[in-house]
Amino acid sequence: MKFKFLSMAAGVVFTACTVAQAADGYRLTLPMTADDEDATVFLVDFDNGAKIDSAVVENAQAVFTGHVDEPVMARIVMEGKRLGNIVLENTEMQMTADGSVSSPLNNVLEDMMRRQQAIYNSYQAIALLPGKEAEKAELERRFNALPDSVFQANKDNAVGRYIFISQAYDMDVDSLKAALEKYPAFKSSKRVAGILDAAEKRARTAVGQKFVDFEIANDSTVQRLSDYVGKGKYVLVDFWASWCGPCIRETSVIKDLYNRYGPEGLEVLGVAVWDEPDNTRAAIAKHQIPWPQIINAQTVPTDLYGITGIPHIIIFGPDGTILSRGKQGDELRADVARLFPAKD
């Protein structure tokens, strides 16, 4: 069973609190910490990456004031770190210490996520019980149908755009093109255009295709994917970053596979993307990652392979053919086990 939550934040959860209507613009107050003093916080357009506003942290808070022509999904960024997403509207918005903020459209998204969580909790309560297949199927249907119904009611505003973009990440090329024909207003979205481009690249680097090589210059050395792939061994390549929590969690799975199947011929390679080299090296040391790394790859491999989220793991065969991609956890374990049946 597959459940995908639409997340509004990285480390911040937006829920409901009191709204006070601003006269003719927005005023957004974010609580910060003493360590953040004098840092600059940015509001960036979620769709096109354009800078909307900035504020310097003073007295442990960042205050943004201004006006938007229409509500827009904005990403909160400080010192290169993504702190969360919020619908920026012309109203008074005060975020509390637990990340709560409210406005008409933020409340729509929060309500959807709260309802999804309740459905998911109901599913988990019966997940291991026998004879509950029909009930579980109905809960899964309701969970996945909820964003669609919220989208239909909000397809002309920032909520609908955010849901469309979030769902586009899971569409193949044909499905996304069909969706864009049905909802042509989203053809102007820079992020959607990028998702479509990535989907087309994923199709060219799908299971069964040969690897696409790349090279990364770092510290006066040049590393290539072909230094490791296509040389007669199975190679598991982990595209990751030090700031990515799911990447770090998946490291434990990869370590298990490395220890179990490494003696049988499995090689593992890390490719650090979207990250600062010093942060990558610190994470390698902290988490005791033993396999070789290509550091400071940034967007080079993710652009080639159409990778829009990490961790992203690709298994290459001895001749460089792609055997598996995009698997994690137990699914990844199963794919690796199939390559080494004698081990099990």
| Per-residue model confidence as pLDDT tens digits over 162-209 | 999 999 999 999 999 999 999 999 999 999 999 999 999 999 999 999
Q: Distance between CA atoms of 50 and 190, rounded to whole angstroms? A: 11
Task: Supply the pLDDT for residue 38.
Answer: 96
Interval 100-140: pLDDT, tens: 678 999 999 989 999 999 999 999 999 999 999 999 999 99
Task: Supply the pLDDT for residue 95.
Answer: 82
- Residues near 43 by beta carbon (within 8 Å), at least 6 away in sequence: 28, 51, 52, 53, 54, 64, 74, 75, 76, 77, 88
Query: pLDDT band for position 344 (50/70/90)?
Result: low
Percent of the chain past pLDDT 90, that is, above it, reads 85
Cβ atoms of 217 and 258 closer than 8 Å: no
**Would you list the domain boundaries of the chain?**
1-144, 215-343
Kind and range of the H or E element at 178?
A: helix 173-182
Q: Across the chain, what does the average pLDDT equal?
A: 91
For residue 218, count other CB atoms closer than 10 A to its CB: 14
Percent of the chain past pLDDT 70, that is, above it, reads 92
The whole-model pTM stands at 0.76
Residue 28 DSSP class: E
Summarize the confidence of residues 75-99 as an average pLDDT: 87
- If DSSP states are collapsed to H, E and C, what string results for 41-62? EEEEECCCCCEEEEEECECCEE
Report CA-CA distances (Å) from 335 to 195, 200, 236, 290. Answer: 26, 24, 11, 21
Cβ atoms of 8 and 84 closer than 8 Å: yes
Pick the CATH number of 215-343 from 3.40.640.10, 3.40.30.10, 3.40.190.10, 3.50.50.60: 3.40.30.10
Taking alpha carbons only, the member of 282, 278, 288, 226 closest to residue 255 is 288
Query: pLDDT band for position 81 (50/70/90)?
Result: confident
- Residues near 304 by beta carbon (within 8 Å), at least 6 away in sequence: 201, 205, 212, 214
Beta bridge partners, 31, equal 61
* Residue 2 clears pLDDT 70, i.e. is over it: no
φ and ψ at residue 238, rounded to 5 degrees: -105, 110
